[in-house]
Amino acid sequence: MAEVKLEHISKVYEDNKRSQQKAVNDISFTVHDKEFMVIVGPSGCGKSTLLRMIAGLEEISEGTLSIDSVVMNDRSPKERDIAMVFQNYALYPHMTVYDNMAFGLKLKGHKKADIKERVTETARLLEIEDELYRKPKALSGGQRQRVAIGRAIIRRPKVFLFDEPLSNLDAKLRSQMRIELQKLHRELAATMIYVTHDQVEAMTLGTRIAVLNKGKLMQLDTPLHLYNVPQNRFVAGFIGSPTMNFIKGTVEQNGQSFFVTQTGNCKINLPAINSGMQKKYISKPMELGVRPEHIIICEEEGDGKPDCMLTVSAYENMGNEQLVYFIFGDQTLIVRRYPKDTLEYGKEKGIRFNPDKVLFIDGASQEVIM
């Protein structure tokens, strides 16, 4: 397979007013041989544009793209030895599944016996042997996506590119296809680059994840490290569902103790920040980030002294977990916990933050301090 290296890649578009807009801005990273790299971010962040530049479907404005140490900037898509799976399947409607999968091999002049063997082998791998002589309109969405993936696999390229391939499927089928893609990656031992806006897909599929926002690379890391150690507010808020709670306040000092004071006189202790760092931020804005599972509702002995008393505004029982929503100044605070008895709306509860899990975010730079 192959290593894909991006060095200071940018894509610049010129609008009618002759001003320039960078859809992709100075992105550098390496996709290692046999790695499953996921590029994730909100709509319009530049992830599909970046993938199309790797594929050769978009011209690279600045920077260098290499595959196996060979510069590809001026190479055509067919010279890059890549295969791409699109969101809309892009199957030939008048051809059978067999002919759709065999089409690329026929163009390259492969022998009929070789084509039949490879189509049969690929169909078996994707569990679509019984669909080979049906046309795409007779297939379900999941089956069509398998055919599209099969058409890419059969060419045995150096790199597989996926552009939001599961977004047209329903939730159950997306879950099934995620498992299939994991299995496929293991069996093929292939280099795969996968674009999605769905963080669940990113977290479950990626060996590493590149998080993009407004054309810039915000962080590149393993799924667990992204979740537990985000480098900035954007990554902290984008990764995780329900989203991380963010609490804006001001750093204050009382004797030897340091707090972030928020609306409603909720004081959150800052024991993890050293005194030098604390003094640097006294009277300055700071934002705290804490995930819903790192907040405790103080109901029993041993739950500790609450940091705040908040009012329950809503709750959701999910079966395996319960999400509790509290009124917190002008915002909502979400707590995730094991399911318990029904809560009473409007009732005040004490909550406590796990100090070892709180992120400290500079109010000006939006970078995570600790």
Q: Where are the domains of the chain?
A: 4-238, 245-362
When pLDDT is cut at 50, 70 and 90, the band that residue 369 belongs to is confident
- Residue 64 pLDDT > 80, yes or no? yes
pLDDT 10s digits, 77-91:
989 999 998 888 788
When pLDDT is cut at 50, 70 and 90, the band that residue 254 belongs to is low
Among the listed ranges 217-221, 283-287, 356-360, which one has the minimum average pLDDT value?
283-287
- Residue 139 pLDDT > 60, yes or no? yes
- Report, as an integer, the average pLDDT of 317-328: 90
Percentage of the chain exceeding pLDDT 90: 51
Which structure tokens are listed for 343?
């809560």
Q: How far apart (Å, rounded) are the C-alpha atoms in residues 153 and 156?
A: 5
End-to-end CA distance of the chain: 39
**pTM confidence score:** 0.88
Coil, strand or helix at 207: coil
Among the listed ranges 77-81, 175-179, 302-306, 314-318, which one has the minimum average pLDDT value?
302-306
Q: How far apart (Å, rounded) are the C-alpha atoms in residues 346 and 90?
A: 53
Which structure tokens are listed for 121?
């082998």
Which structure tokens are listed for 337?
């916990």
- Residue 360 pLDDT > 90, yes or no? no
| Range 4-238 classified under CATH 3.40.50.300 | yes
Confidence (pLDDT) at 294: 94
Cα 270–chain centre separation? 30
Q: Left (φ > 0), alpha (ψ -120 to 50) or beta: where does 232 sit?
A: beta
Which structure tokens are listed for 50?
């970046």
- Residue 169 pLDDT > 70, yes or no? yes
Mean residue pLDDT of the chain comes to 87
| Burial degree of 108 (CB within 10 A; 0-12, 13-18, 19+) | exposed
CATH architecture for segment(s) 245-362: Beta Barrel (2.40)
The residue among 275 and 349 whose pLDDT is bigger is: 349
- Residue 261 pLDDT > 90, yes or no? no
Cis? peptide before 42, omega within 30° of 0: no
The residue among 260 and 209 whose pLDDT is bigger is: 209
- Report, as an integer, the average pLDDT of 88-117: 90
Confidence (pLDDT) at 211: 97
